[in-house]
Amino acid sequence: MLKVQFGCGLSNPVGWWNYDSTPSLFVRKIPLSVQTAKVANKILSKQRSPRLSLILNNMIHTNAIYGDVVKGLPCSDKSVDLLYASHVLEHLPLKEFRIALQECRRVLKNGGVFRAVVPNLKYCVEQYLSSSMPTKSIDFCLATGMGTESFANPLSRMRGDSHHMMYDVETMIYELRSSGFSSVRQAYYGDSECKEFSEVEDKGRWVFPVNIGFECIN
């Protein structure tokens, strides 16, 4: 059984092919890059640079492979049994999001299962509407990732750390069905009949109603 996760970040479970498009994985292909990262990490650890140190540690220790779901994953057509994405799709502009869904269909076998979780826009809107805080518009933008407190650094721009699109249940189901998936349903943590998903799911990233999950069949 071929199990694939894209946009894996720091999640690299054994038994899964874990792809991510972070620049650190691209740089990792360069000879001596890992050794250089180890030296840089030792220096930065003394300067207390937690964010950069996290990136370097991921580069040094990760089992992930460089792969971009928009440009095309390094998987053959109809080769994947299970496909998973946790808090990835909201980082894509709408056009790229739809391209990514078509790429998911390309790599999945007929009958293959795609499972994903994203932030819940409806929940954020309800929090905004019920808030009495004078900063509620700012709070909304920060909570949804649609706004930031300062300009992103160049690495954040490359990684696509900000959110480009947000979804509710109805919209995501519509988009999945429109892309050609069948048996599309709202999903919850640990409710899949394919128990292999438990190897990759993080309960904290599936908390409802803050987040909304989906499962569908190719």
pLDDT tens column, 70-118: 999 999 999 999 999 999 999 999 999 999 999 999 999 999 999 999 9
pLDDT reported for residue 209: 97
Enter the tokens of residue 5.
């996760």
pLDDT reported for residue 153: 55
Number of domains present in the structure of the chain:
1
pLDDT reported for residue 36: 73
Instruction: Examine residue 124 and state whether it is found in any structural domain, yes or no.
Output: no
Alpha-carbon distance values, 51 to 41, 115, 155, 183 (Å): 11, 29, 11, 40
pLDDT reported for residue 173: 98
Instruction: Examine residue 189 and state whether it is found in any structural domain, yes or no.
Output: yes
pLDDT reported for residue 77: 98
Instruction: Examine residue 84 and state whether it is found in any structural domain, yes or no.
Output: yes
Instruction: Examine residue 52 and state whether it is found in any structural domain, yes or no.
Output: no
Domain with residue 88: its CATH number is 3.40.50.150
Instruction: Examine residue 208 and state whether it is found in any structural domain, yes or no.
Output: yes
Domain membership of residue 7 as a residue range: 3-21+67-118+166-217
Mean pLDDT by 10 residues, the chain (218 residues): 92 92 63 68 64 62 83 97 97 96 98 98 97 96 86 54 90 98 98 98 97 98
Closest CA relative to residue 87, chosen from 184, 166, 178, 176 = 166
pTM of the model: 0.83
Instruction: Examine residue 143 and state whether it is found in any structural domain, yes or no.
Output: no
Instruction: Examine residue 91 and state whether it is found in any structural domain, yes or no.
Output: yes
